Structure 1
């Protein structure tokens, strides 16, 4: 028997090679979803993240950024007809008692001050309305007996304006909703980014060390250096 026949018989009875286990892969549908949600959330977050990042720096160095507030004061006298509307406000009025419409329109026209949503403070002798806003402050006080009006407005500049937007200070319901939606989009952006990191981590060995550093560094700062 020649060697060729022996090799053929041996090959015929040799056990089959063990099959390699199939790697579990994330379905292509979900990969596409991760990419789609990641870029959509990044588009929604773009301007907000730039704004909040820049104002995070300005807030962190607020003491080193000097600003000269501009204060404007005005003194006026109510027309007799409007003074009568104040006299008709019942005793015991509180913050739930609105400013009479005619008086509110006159104040907004004369002082360029928005009174919508403002809670007035009533006393027997005075009506006081606080006018806080992003980047500034203000108030108007009206003597209910003489009709004298004193108005003061403080403007602390554009940096203070954007800092107050960062904090949501006196910025209204619409901006509060924007912050909530922006925060939710940031969560989606971060989570989908983490999932995409996991998908590509095999070909990028530095992925998890960098992610770990992003967790460990803030934790160490909080534990050892923040008091």
Structure 2
């Protein structure tokens, strides 16, 4: 029935029309998603075989003291809540530790201002003592592979990267559907098309039913 519907559609609108459309959208979606598909395929392998690519994270801890005027600004913050640090404190931290605190929520209590600084491939945080002005900044870096793996998962990569993943997923869907259309159009000349095509559906289903418990 599916093949009959496809043949009817091709006859109605013209085989050459559909071939042009499928080829056009297939190569456009392939060109857009080329690097992304390669990245996600490689990181899919590294994530699925994490024991083969284990690395030891490196941790760096730095400390400094707030100038008196900035300490006064920290003491003037509410004693509880998530209020970001004042702009002057954020500017000082950017120069001292090369870190961006602007608009980042805090975990503030009467004794300390704590700022979580999650990032792809590692983690970081900063703590400011509200009594002494002592500042501790701790950075953990898992290396470039951990960074790529976190990009695969969209972990702590920000909204723009999340939008890119959505666009890449859409491009991959278009690439797959137009590839299926091209297979359909050439199936009569390639007898192995449908056995291999149905195998692509059957294989993951069989594995899921038999080996995932």
Structure 2 residue 141 is the aligned partner of structure 1 residue 166: no
CA RMSD of aligned residues (A): 1.3
**Equivalent of 1:182, from 138, 144, 168?**
168
Aligned residue pair count = 203
Which residue matches 1:19?
none
Which residue matches 1:68?
56
Which deviations, in whole Å up to 9, do the C-alpha atoms of 1:153-211 show, x marking residues without a partner?
Answer: 00001110000000000000110010000000000000111111100000000001001
Which residue matches 2:204?
218
Which residue matches 1:119?
105
Rg larger for:
1
Cα deviation, residue 115, structure 1 = 2.1
Which deviations, in whole Å up to 9, do the C-alpha atoms of 1:94-148 show, x marking residues without a partner?
Answer: 22x2210000011111111122452211111100001110111110000011101
- Closer, same or farther in 2 for the Cα pair 1:58/1:101, shift >3 Å? same
Structure 2 residue 46 is the aligned partner of structure 1 residue 58: yes
- Runs (4+) off by over 4 Å: none
Task: Give the structure with the larger helix fraction.
Answer: 2
Cα deviation, residue 26, structure 1 = 4.6
Cα deviation, residue 77, structure 1 = 0.6
Cα deviation, residue 31, structure 1 = 2.2
Which residue matches 2:31?
43
Q: Is the 8 A contact 2:56 2:142 kept in 1?
A: yes
Which residues of 2 match residues 99-118 of structure 1 at below 5 A? 99-118=85-104
The TM-score, its normalising length taken from structure 1, stands at: 0.86
The TM-score, its normalising length taken from structure 2, stands at: 0.92
Which residue matches 1:14?
none
